[in-house]
Every structure is written in C-alpha cells, then in structure tokens.
C-alpha cells in the first residue's frame, strides 16, 4: 500500500523543488516541470523493511515506474521514462523473506461484503487478488519494460519467486 500526503502544509522547505521533463503538450500549457515541495510518503506491506527510511529522492513518477516494472508495462508518460526517476521498488526489501509480523486486523462487514482475502475473483473463481486485466491493452503492443531498465529489479524478483508479468 502506498500512502502519499498531497499537501505540504505551508511550511518553509529548505530543498528546492526538482525539475523533471514534460511533454510538448504540457509545456504548451505552461508546465515548467517543477514538481513542487516534498511531501511525506509511506509504504506498507510484507516487503517493506521495519523501522527504515529510504533516502532515495522519489517523485510521483516513481510510483508509475513501480507499476510499469511490476506489471511489465511501457512507461506511463514522459516523466516515467526519465532515467533520473527512481523506481519506488528500490525502497522494498527483496533480499530477506517477506515479513509476517503484521498485526491481525478485524475487517468489519460493510458495503463490499467480507474481508478482502475472501473475495472471489472474476477470472478464476478462487479467493485472492484478481489477475491483471489486459482488456484495455492496445493490440500488438509490447508490455515489457523498454531497454531492460528494470532488469536488476526483475532479476531480484525472479530470484525470490515473484511471478513475471504475462
């Protein structure tokens, strides 16, 4: 789970906002590529190190790169193609086994029925997370990461048994 606080709160920031590439359409609208002030972000999950603060300079496109790498998609826009953007997967721990120390959380019954892990998927009828919906893909287009940019992370994921995108 990724939690990003989208408001910086009006406090004085001592770090100048970084500048990232923009498309010609964005530039025509006056976008200068400045990302704005830093905002807090938290990652939650079994691959997140306990008591760890990443020092990588992530930006919003880091989330796009994580999704593109994980699901084998082409870059999602000009900024996600920028070689200076760090993939948020670098904040995850692929060297140790997945953490299992998460506390039990009671999920109350609500509008959507039972706990998430008991939801039946439309694709398989089994419980768990549904398969990647590829119905929106453009026919005859590659969904692999361009130029092997995520090869290092893919190698780590393969070594740890994470399934490759189909």
Structure confidence by residue, pLDDT tens digits, 45-55 = 999 988 888 88
pLDDT of residue 143: 44
Is residue 139 pLDDT above 80, yes or no? no
Report the C-alpha gap between 71 and 66 in whole angstroms: 9
Is residue 111 pLDDT above 70, yes or no? no
Is residue 120 pLDDT above 80, yes or no? no
pLDDT of residue 113: 52
pLDDT of residue 163: 76
Render pLDDT for 43-100 as a digit per residue (tens, 0 to 9): 999 999 888 888 888 888 888 888 888 888 887 777 777 777 888 998 998 888 988 8
Q: What is the mean pLDDT of residues 113-126?
A: 46
| Radius of gyration for the alpha carbons in the chain, expressed in angstroms and rounded | 19
The set of residues, in sequence order, having a beta carbon less than 8 Å from that of 117 and lying 6+ positions away, is 127, 128
Q: Which of 64, 19, 11 is nearest to 39 (CA)?
A: 11
Model-level pTM?
A: 0.54
Is residue 118 pLDDT above 50, yes or no? no
- What phi, psi does 48 have (nearest 5°)? -95, 130
Please give the sequence-ordered ranges of beta strands (E in DSSP) within the chain, or none if there are none: 2-4, 41-43
Q: Which pair of tokens denotes residue 131?
A: 């398969």
Report the C-alpha gap between 135 and 48 in whole angstroms: 31
Is residue 137 pLDDT above 60, yes or no? no
Report the C-alpha gap between 43 and 40 in whole angstroms: 10
Q: pLDDT averaged over the chain?
A: 73
Q: What is the mean pLDDT of residues 108-126?
A: 50
Of 2-6, 44-48, 161-165, where does mean pLDDT reach its minimum? 161-165
CB atoms within 10 A of CB 1: 7
């Amino acid at each position: 789970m990724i939690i990003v606080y989208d408001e910086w709160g009006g406090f004085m920031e001592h770090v100048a906002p970084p500048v990232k590439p923009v498309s010609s359409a964005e530039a025509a609208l006056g976008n200068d590529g400045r990302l704005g002030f830093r905002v807090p972000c938290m990652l939650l999950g079994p691959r997140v190190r306990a008591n760890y603060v990443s020092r990588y300079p992530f930006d919003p496109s880091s989330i796009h790169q994580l999704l593109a790498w994980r699901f084998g998609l082409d870059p999602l826009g000009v900024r996600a193609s920028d070689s200076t953007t760090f993939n948020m997967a670098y904040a995850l721990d692929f060297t140790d086994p997945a953490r299992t120390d998460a506390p039990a959380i009671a999920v109350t019954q609500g509008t959507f029925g039972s706990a998430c892990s008991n939801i039946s998927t439309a694709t398989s009828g089994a419980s768990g997370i549904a398969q990647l919906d590829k119905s929106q893909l453009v026919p005859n287009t590659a969904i692999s990461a361009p130029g092997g940019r995520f090869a290092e992370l893919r190698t780590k994921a393969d070594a740890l048994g994470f399934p490759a995108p189909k």
